[in-house]
Amino acid sequence: MDFEEILVETDRLVFPALAAGDGPVVVCWHGFPDHPATFGPLAQHLVAAGRRVVAPFLRGHHRATAHDMTYADGLTLAADGAAVARALDPPVDMFGHDIGAGIVQRVAAAWPELVRRGAAGAVPAPAAVGAMLTDPAQLQRLFYLFLFQLPGLPEALLATDRRLVDHLWATWSPNLDPGEHRERVHALYGDPVLSGNALRIYRGNFDTSLHDPRLAALAARSEAPAPDPLLLLAGADDGCVDPRWFTHDGLAPGSRVELVEGAGHFLHLERPDEVARLLLDWFTS
C-alpha cells in the first residue's frame, strides 16, 4: 500500500498520519511496539472496498510530536483519538490495535457521538482487564508491563539493539515474519526520545503524575463500558493476551467477539484479508 503522510490538525495537537484511499474514513490507531505502516495490508483491502484509511502516529511516536508527551495516560491518548475524529468529520469508523484498542474503547465510552462503529484488536473489554491482572499465567505474558516500570533498564534495552522488540513480536505472533516492517519498527523505537515516550505510556498505568488533571472529570466515563456495540477481534495464537479473555462481559448488547484463526497478536498484519472482511461487515451492518 502506498500511503501518503498527512497532517491531521486538531485542537490538541497536529498529528502526522499515513493515509490512503477515498470514501468514508476508517481511523486506525496502532500500538506497541508498532508503526502505522503495518496497517498497509489491511488498508489495501479497505481502500479496495471504497474506504479512506487514516492511520495516525500515537502522540510522541513521530519526530514532529516527540516533545509533546507531558502526559501519557490512556485518557490522554483517548482524548487525542476524539480530537482526530472531530477533525475528520465525525462520526467515523475506528479500529485500534493494542494500545490503539484502548483508544477506541475509551473514545466509544466517553465520546460515543464521535464513533459510528468501533472495533478493537488484541485487547479485551475493560471488564476483563482487572481479572487478567490477577491471573499468574497472564501476568507472565505481561512481563514487559512490569519491566517498563523500572528506571533506566528498559531504555537501555531498547537503545542497545531492539532485541526486546524482536522478542515481543516473535512471542506474540510466533508465525509472523514482519518483513519490511521490522526495519520501520526498529527505527521508531531506536530513537531514544520516541522509545522513551512509549515507556511513559506504560508507566502512566501506575504513575498518576503522568495523568492529565484537566481530563480527570472524564475518567469515570472513559473507563465505563461503551454505550454502543463494539467489535472485539482476537488472534487465536496471541502470545500476549490469552484469547480466553475476549468475552462479551461488559460490552453493550449487539457487540461481537471474533477469534481470527491463523493469527497472533498482530492479526491485522497476519490475516489482513480476514480482519478486513470482519471490519467491513461490522462497519456496514
Q: Average pLDDT of the chain?
A: 97
Q: How confident is the model at residue 252 (pLDDT cuts 50, 70, 90)?
A: very high
CATH match of 4-284 with 3.40.50.1820: yes
**Residue 127: predicted pLDDT:** 86
**Which range has the worst mean pLDDT, 67-76, 124-133, 151-160, 253-262?**
124-133
Q: How confident is the model at residue 272 (pLDDT cuts 50, 70, 90)?
A: very high
Task: Give me the phi and psi of 15, to 5 degrees please.
Answer: -100, 120
Q: Crossing angle for the helix pair 153-160 and 163-172, nearest 10 degrees?
A: 90
Is omega for the bond preceding 136 within 30 degrees of 0, making it cis? no
Rounded-to-integer distance, Cα 211 and Cα 264, Å:
31
223-244 mean pLDDT:
97
Give yes or no for a contact between 144 and 199, defined as CB atoms under 8 angstroms apart: no
**Is the pLDDT reported for residue 215 higher than 90?**
yes
Rounded-to-integer distance, Cα 101 and Cα 99, Å:
5
Q: How confident is the model at residue 1 (pLDDT cuts 50, 70, 90)?
A: confident
**Residue 130: predicted pLDDT:** 84
Rounded-to-integer distance, Cα 97 and Cα 31, Å:
6
Query: Rounded to 5 degrees, what angle do the CA atoms 274, 189, 26 make?
Result: 35
Give yes or no for a contact between 17 and 7, defined as CB atoms under 8 angstroms apart: yes
In the chain, which residue ranges form alpha helices assigned H by DSSP?
40-48, 74-87, 99-110, 126-132, 136-141, 143-147, 153-160, 163-172, 180-189, 192-203, 219-222, 267-270, 272-284
Give yes or no for a contact between 67 and 48, defined as CB atoms under 8 angstroms apart: no
What is the pTM assigned to this prediction? 0.97
Q: How confident is the model at residue 129 (pLDDT cuts 50, 70, 90)?
A: confident
**Is the pLDDT reported for residue 264 higher than 90?**
yes
**Residue 201: predicted pLDDT:** 98
| 184 grid coordinates | 520501520
Rounded-to-integer distance, Cα 263 and Cα 237, Å:
6
At 232 the three-state DSSP class reads strand
